[in-house]
């Protein structure tokens, strides 16, 4: 199983981090060891003092594909989910300043929350509303209508570089509102007012 993540896919998030708007999707990867085990808390790692949450719509691949034409991309997934890309922002900033890869800041153990999935037929893929709440307060409020690159575009693009396999998960990018987590925070992710995950921070 691969976890393929898309960065800088929402304009307002690009602006809040003062990044350049890319001409094509930014791709990075997380290993399977990054998946936070079900019902486990997220434990703030000792190497960072600034762990940020980033809620994202997820796509689960259901067949093998390479060089997928965008018009056929819809055939490669049936389920949509929600998750968190935890990021060691302080470490990421240091790595970016030196022109180094982000893996230590993005791919560490437990950095990928993968919530439940639902059938894509239950949603309007062009306008999926999703939220992240911390301790009952909405901190991120996104909608796939604001994506720079839509789901089918991402699948087609990613498949030019990596063969997609059954069970691979694509994190499609985060909207604005990212911020720091603290011990004892409770994070709840929702799609269309339905809870898709709940994570306690320690």
Q: How far is Cα 196 from Cα 152, in angstroms, rounded to an integer?
A: 22
Which of 122, 99, 116 lies closest to 198 in space, CA to CA?
116
Q: How far is Cα 150 from Cα 171, in angstroms, rounded to an integer?
A: 12
Which of 63, 117, 58 lies closest to 85 in space, CA to CA?
58
Q: What pLDDT score was predicted for residue 180?
A: 97
User: Residue range 61-87: average pLDDT?
Assistant: 98
Q: Which residues of 142-181 are buried (b: 16+ CB within 10 A; e: fewer)?
A: bebeebbbbbbebbbbbbeeeebeeebbbbbbbbbbbbeb
Whose tokens are 């896919």? That residue is 9
Kindly tell me the burial class for residue 41, based on how many C-beta atoms sit within 10 Å of its own C-beta (0-12, 13-18, 19 or more): middle
**Tell me: the pLDDT tens digits for 95-118?**
999 999 989 999 999 999 999 999
Q: What is the CATH number of domain 3-40+50-200?
A: 3.90.850.10
Q: Whole-prediction pTM value?
A: 0.94
Contact between 61 and 185 (Cβ < 8 Å)? no
Q: What pLDDT score was predicted for residue 17?
A: 59
Residue, of 12 and 23, whose pLDDT is higher = 23
Structure-token pair, residue 157 = 């693009």
Domain locations along the chain: 3-40+50-200
**Tell me: the pLDDT tens digits for 15-45?**
665 566 678 999 999 999 999 999 999 999 9
H/E stretch holding 156: helix 151-158
Contact between 78 and 155 (Cβ < 8 Å)? no
Contact between 199 and 42 (Cβ < 8 Å)? yes
Give percent above pLDDT 70 in the chain: 96
Q: What pLDDT score was predicted for residue 139?
A: 98
């Amino acid at each position: 199983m691969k976890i393929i993540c898309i960065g800088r896919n929402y304009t307002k998030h690009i602006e809040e981090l003062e990044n350049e708007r890319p001409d094509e999707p930014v791709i990075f990867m997380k290993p399977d060891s990054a998946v936070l085990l079900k019902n486990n808390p997220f434990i703030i790692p000792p190497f960072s003092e600034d762990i940020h949450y980033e809620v994202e719509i997820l796509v689960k691949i259901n067949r093998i594909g390479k060089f997928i034409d965008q018009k056929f991309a819809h055939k490669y997934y049936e389920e949509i989910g929600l998750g968190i890309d935890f990021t060691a922002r302080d470490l990421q900033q240091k790595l970016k300043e030196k022109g180094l890869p982000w893996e230590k800041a993005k791919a560490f153990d437990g950095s990928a929350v993968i919530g439940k999935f639902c059938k894509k037929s239950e949603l309007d893929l062009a306008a999926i509303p999703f939220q992240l709440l911390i301790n009952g307060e909405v901190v991120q409020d996104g909608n796939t209508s604001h994506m720079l690159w839509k789901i089918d575009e991402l699948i087609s693009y990613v498949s030019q570089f990596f063969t997609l396999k059954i069970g691979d998960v694509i994190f499609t990018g985060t909207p604005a509102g990212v911020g720091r987590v603290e011990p004892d925070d409770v994070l709840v992710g929702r799609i269309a007012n339905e809870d898709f995950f709940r994570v306690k921070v320690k």
